[in-house]
Chain A
Amino acid sequence: MLYLFAMLVAAFTGILIFAGGLVTSTESGLSVPDWPNTYGYFMFFFPLEKMVGGIRYEHTHRLIASTVGFLILVLAAWLWRAETRRWVRRLGYLALAAVITQGVLGGITVLWYLPDPISIAHASLAQIVFCLTMTIALVTSPGWKRAYATNGPAPDDLMLQRVAAVTTGLIYLQIVVGATMRHTGAGLAIPDFPLMFGQLIPPHWDSKIAIHFAHRAGALIVSLAILATTGHVLYHHRSRSELRRPALLLLALLATQVTLGALTVLSKKEFIINSLHVVTGASVLVTSLVLTLRAHRARFASEVRRADASASADTRIGRLAGDHA
């Protein structure tokens, strides 16, 4: 149940990121000037018929954000009550702290008229919250707890661990650059695709063109990193479904994301495409994170041994988990 609930929280966090993308894409961030109230109403009592124009996006984003905040609070409490692994409980507390910080950042970015650094921090921290909720979902999953034992011991492939971790880090950096591009209004600083002003390298530069160029160059680097990771998985660990599946999903998401990025430019930032680009980027990140964590699963081997010991010592209550390390 805890795992299913954690999955639900992670899914809601993904939806929240899409809703946040819609707010930015429709430039509705300041359509509700006050915070935490909405036009003087307590947020949850704001009349539905007044949700017009940009308010629809901004207020809906706030409602979903409140829901996610509440869900993470419940998740953290649940982990505190039921989770035996201290580090997993701590992940819950960290997620709660992150989502509270995220809410405050969202509030002050409205009250301070969307200053770029705050808005970028808000967008970047959203990804961290998504990563945390997804990590909690992963490590509370039955597959993680039994260490994918049905496929034999988890591989301790140092190369895979490194390349996957680097790939995840690069994807996060790329998302931060993307957030910087969005919030500084550089999304169309280079108006054509795949060329840049008809050339391979922009013929002239300013700060916005540089940010936009960095995002395109970042896309290339991230693509290579993802190809390296997934290639490694498919070549060396094809039989392990817990690695093969996220690797294939990562490839599919990468193709989708690059297409959406191109369409964002070519459609002159059509707001649905633009928002899908944001949430697909987040999906690329968490998929890579899942792959990375599974690649590191062997490092948690002691956890399995202890779980086994605990299970055999206490079979009457059927307890399976158990690691306080």
Chain B
Amino acid sequence: MHPLLRLLACVALSMAVIGAACGGGASEESTAAKTAAPVTNPVDPATASAITGVVTLQGTPPSSPPINMSSDPYCMKPGAATTPAFVVSDGGLENVFVYVKDGLGTVKFPVPTKPVVLDQKGCTYDPHVFGIQVGQSLDIVNSDETLHNVHALPKANREFNRGQGLKGIKSTTTFTVPEVMVPFKCDVHKWMNAWVGVVEHPFYAVSGKAGAFALAGLPPGTYTIEAWHEKLGVQTQQVTIGAKESKNISFIFKV
């Protein structure tokens, strides 16, 4: 073989080895998930319980001035969006990720086939805070007529940064290990950020209007429930629920 060809072959082989070594992550795991036996829901509906509650904010939230979107003329169109970190309605704090942190043991739950959608709309992420199960598809969509890059910065999962230059473009990804929370950001538009809580089960919620949340379909047991807020940190509490019981709890964040 010609020495130059031999050199090129060595380079190609090295790149393939490096690629295989560094590749890992989502695609391999998703292949494994596809080949694994399907998991049925282990919770008996006859005994399923629920934890509901509200997240409230004590004190005056920082003011949320309109975001300066002047760096992209397109983004100026939708109107004056404000930072979604402190959204308070009826005394309740929205965008708090509440989930079962501990207490489910090693029980496996089926991965939903319906993907979670993260949209880029009006140069903001929608939703701002959301949850997803390990292995569940996340469809990232660009509904804007401008460019975005979707940059996930996990610590346990694999970082990615994808450009979405056209309206309607969609890319799909999965997370391979639990991680609360994984931040998303757009490096083109500094104000754009979102957070996803990656968990191994379906017992998570994001507080909505009046700070309300609900974790339904839980088996009886004692659980550690954690509430996460992007600026105010985390709070946890222990909750014990019996069969067909519904318990109401509350989290109070102070500013």
Q: By the criterion CB–CB under 8 Å, are B163 and A33 in contact?
A: yes
Kindly identify, within residues 302 to 321 of chain A, every residue whose CB is under 8 Å from any CB belonging to chain B.
none
Contact bitstring B151-179, A, C-beta under 8 A = 1, else 0: 10000000101110100000000000000
Say yes or no: is A30 at the interface (Cβ < 8 Å to chain B). yes
Kindly list chain A residues whose C-beta atoms are within 8 Å of the C-beta of B71.
52-54, 56
Q: A27-B190, A28-B187, A30-B187 are in contact. Are A50 and B165 (CB under 8 A)?
A: yes
Q: Which of B73, B146, B165, B190 sits near A54, CB closer than 8 Å?
A: B190
Q: Cα distance A30–B75 when bound, in Å? A: 19
Q: Produce 1/0 per residue, A4-44, CB < 8 A to B.
A: 00000000000000000000001111111110000110000
In the complex, chain A residues whose CB is within 8 Å of the CB of B74: 52
Cα(A32)–Cα(B165), bound, Å: 10
In angstroms, Cα B73 to Cα A50, docked, is 10
Residues of B contacting A: mostly: loop
Closest Cβ of chain B: how far from A114's Cβ, in Å? 10
Which of these, A33, A40, A52, A53, contacts B151 with CB under 8 Å?
A33
List the B side residues contacting A56 at CB < 8 Å.
71
- Of all chain B residues, the one with the shortest Cβ separation from A37 is B163
* B189 and A113 within 8 A (CB): no
Q: Write out the residue numbers on chain B whose beta carbons fall within 8 Å of the beta carbon of A50.
A: 146-147, 165
Question: By the criterion CB–CB under 8 Å, are B188 and A55 in contact?
Answer: yes
Contact A113 B161, beta carbon cutoff 8 Å: yes
**A52–B188 touching, CB < 8 Å:** yes
Which of chain A's residues have a CB closer than 8 A to the CB of B186? Answer: 53
Contacts of B151 in A (CB 8 A): 30, 33
Is B72 interfacial (CB-CB < 8 Å)? Answer: yes
Q: For the complex, what is the distance from the CA of A53 to the CA of B120, rounded to whole Å? A: 15
Partner of B72, one of A26, A27, A40, A53: A53
In angstroms, Cα B74 to Cα A53, docked, is 11
B246 within 8 A of A: no
A53 contacts B189, CB within 8 Å?
yes
- Whether B149 is near chain A, meaning CB under 8 Å from some CB there, is yes
Q: Are B163 and A34 in contact (CB under 8 A)?
A: yes
For A34, list chain B residues within 8 Å (CB).
163
Docked complex Cα distance between A50 and B147 (Å): 7
Partner of A40, one of B73, B163, B188, B189: B163
Q: Shortest beta-carbon distance, B161 to chain A, in Å? A: 4
Question: Cβ of B159 and Cβ of A113 under 8 Å apart?
Answer: yes
**Pair A55/B147 contact, Cβ less than 8 Å:** yes
Residue contact A39 to B163, C-beta cutoff 8 Å: yes
User: Which residues between 50 and 87 of chain B lie within 8 Å of chain A, taking CB atoms?
Assistant: 71-75
Q: Are A30 and B161 in contact (CB under 8 A)?
A: yes
Q: A53-B188, A54-B188, A54-B190 are in contact. Are A33 and B162 (CB under 8 A)?
A: yes
Chain B stretch 119-166: residues in CB contact (< 8 A) with chain A:
146-147, 149, 151, 159, 161-163, 165
Whether B189 contacts A33 by the Cβ 8 Å rule is: no
Chain A residue at minimum C-beta to C-beta distance from B150: A33
Task: Give the distance to chain B from A184, nearest Cβ to Cβ, in Å.
Answer: 16
- Given the complex of chains A and B, what is the CA–CA distance between A40 and B166 in angstroms? 11
How long is the Cα–Cα vector from A39 to B162 in the complex, in angstroms?
A: 9
Contact of B149 with A32 in the complex, beta carbons under 8 Å: yes
CA distance A22 to B186 in the complex (A): 17
Residues of B within 8 A of A30 (CB): 149, 151, 161, 187
Kindly supply a per-residue 1/0 record for chain A positions 45-76, scoring 1 wherever the CB is within 8 Å of any chain B CB and 0 otherwise.
00000101111100000000000000000000
Find out whether the CB atom of A52 lies under 8 angstroms from the CB atom of B72.
yes
Among A26, A29, A55, A113, chain B packs the most CB atoms within 10 A around the CB of A55
Measured between beta carbons, the chain A residues less than 8 angstroms from B163 are 32-34, 39-40
Q: Are B146 and A52 in contact (CB under 8 A)?
A: yes
Q: How far apart are the CA atoms of A28 and B187 in the complex, in Å?
A: 6
Which A119-161 residues have a C-beta within 8 angstroms of B?
none
Would you give the shortest CB distance from A198 to chain B, in whole angstroms? 26
**Pairs A–B under 8 Å by Cβ, sample size 15:** A26-B190, A27-B190, A30-B151, A33-B151, A39-B147, A40-B163, A50-B147, A52-B71, A52-B75, A53-B71, A53-B187, A53-B188, A53-B190, A54-B188, A54-B190
**Shortest 3 CB-CB distances between A and B: which pairs?**
A31-B187, A52-B72, A53-B188
Instruction: Given contacts A28-B188, A30-B149, list 8 more A-B pairs with CB under 8 A.
Output: A26-B190, A32-B149, A39-B147, A40-B163, A52-B74, A52-B75, A52-B188, A53-B189
